[in-house]
Chain A
Amino acid sequence: MEEKEFHVCMKRMRAGEQSALREIYEAYIGYIYSVVFQIVRNKEDAEDVTSEFFIKLWKLADTYQSRKGHRAWLAAIARNMAIDLLRKKKHEIYVEDFTDSAQGNAAADSVEEEVLSDMSLKEVLDTLKPAEREIVNLKILGELTFQEISDILKQPMGTVTWRYQNAMKKLRRCGYE
């Protein structure tokens, strides 16, 4: 969805048109669900947060100001909502924690390399570390720049690009160039 198209939808939502929200939903349900899921790591919670996100977007339309980079804006809202849910549930897995916790050992990596070529995309993506997966999500689905991803994740841009490159290496091994 283009910036202008999104802006028009938000204006229509402000006027009470649910069909405009439906259009945004159709365009971004996969993106938002993916962003949320990477944080909550739980299907039910991801569904709850994603639903709440679109309901919140409906309300936000009343005060929405036209801006560039609506995908980054949407991702930031969705991500914050997911983190809020984690805090409410008193999860001890903070965003930084689960990025580190997924760092496997060297042995696992070598096994991984052997089987990667026979894996589907979904299976390959599942082998990505959560932090890598999140960046890939924002990059591919959100079409965000590294700077935007860096701003959303509150991580240095070098870290973001390095993690993204690692993810791409794994995908290339599976034949995705």
Chain B
Amino acid sequence: MSKQLEKEYRSLMKEDAPDLWDRIEAGLEPKQRPVHKTGFWKKYRTWGAVAAACVCLMLAVPVMQRQMAGGGNNAFDSAPPEEENMSGAAENGVSSDAALWDADRNMTNEATGIPGELQEESGGQAASCTMTVKVLDVSETESAYTVQIEETDCGELSYGEQITLYDERIPDVRLEKGETYQLTVTVQKEDNGMARYLLEEIDSE
């Protein structure tokens, strides 16, 4: 087929074709242009991420500052020992504050392995010692005893030293003048720096 025929044929067909554009254009339904969700979400996702990061910083910084101010102690680390003691006391069928106090004291001593370690008590620091003493004098109220140290693991006391023992923790106990006893004593440091010796238990006479 010649190019001439093709060319003439095409031009002839184009001439014959009516102009229908106006009709076609009138019949076209407007298309809803797709909303560029990606652009929209991209924009808001970025700003959302920035806002979230700011909120996280605002929450995290004060907490970190508080922890650093507290010597780096983690708030979560301080509670468990007491909880463990409490649960231990409950397992032993012991209740009451005294049991908790004992459990707390035992746990602390076990943890360190050092007898007479200082412990927190109301009014100051306290240490538990064992000692062998000779009773030199008994007060009129029979609540205080003057004793002479014969042997002790309490570092601040030495042989022959005389101290006053108070039995306010076990008031029913009575020590006889001139007798020698092996005792457990709590050394309580007062706020003025003086030591106060509290009789805890008579181990043997």
Instruction: Say if A and B assemble together.
Output: yes
Binding site for B on A (CB under 8 A): 14-16, 18, 21-22, 25, 29-31, 33-34, 43, 47, 50-52, 54-55, 58-59, 62, 121-122, 125, 136-137, 139-141, 168, 171, 176-177
Give Cα distance in the complex from A176 to B2, angstroms: 7
Measured as residues with beta carbon below 8 angstroms from the partner, the interface class of chain B is 20 to 34
Number of A-B contacts (CB under 8 A): 84
B10 and A141: CB pair below 8 A?
Answer: yes
Give Cα distance in the complex from A18 to B21, angstroms: 11
B97 contacts chain A at the CB level, 8 A cutoff:
no
CB neighbours of B33 from chain A (8 A): 15-16
Whole-angstrom distance from the CB of A73 to the nearest CB of chain B?
19
A30 and B2: CB pair below 8 A?
Answer: no
Of residues 16 to 33 in B, which have CB atoms within 8 Å of A's CB atoms?
A: 16-18, 20-21, 23-25, 27-33
Partner of B27, one of A25, A33, A55, A140: A55
B4 and A58: CB pair below 8 A?
Answer: no
Give Cα distance in the complex from A59 to B32, angstroms: 12
For the residues of A in contact with B, the DSSP-based class is: helix
- Which 10 A-B pairs rank lowest in CB-CB distance, beginning with the nearest? A30-B13, A16-B31, A30-B14, A33-B17, A176-B5, A30-B17, A55-B27, A54-B24, A51-B23, A177-B2
Partner of A29, one of B1, B17, B27: B17
Give Cα distance in the complex from A55 to B20, angstroms: 11
Give Cα distance in the complex from A139 to B24, angstroms: 26
A18-B10 in contact given A33-B17, A33-B18, A47-B20 (Cβ < 8 Å): no
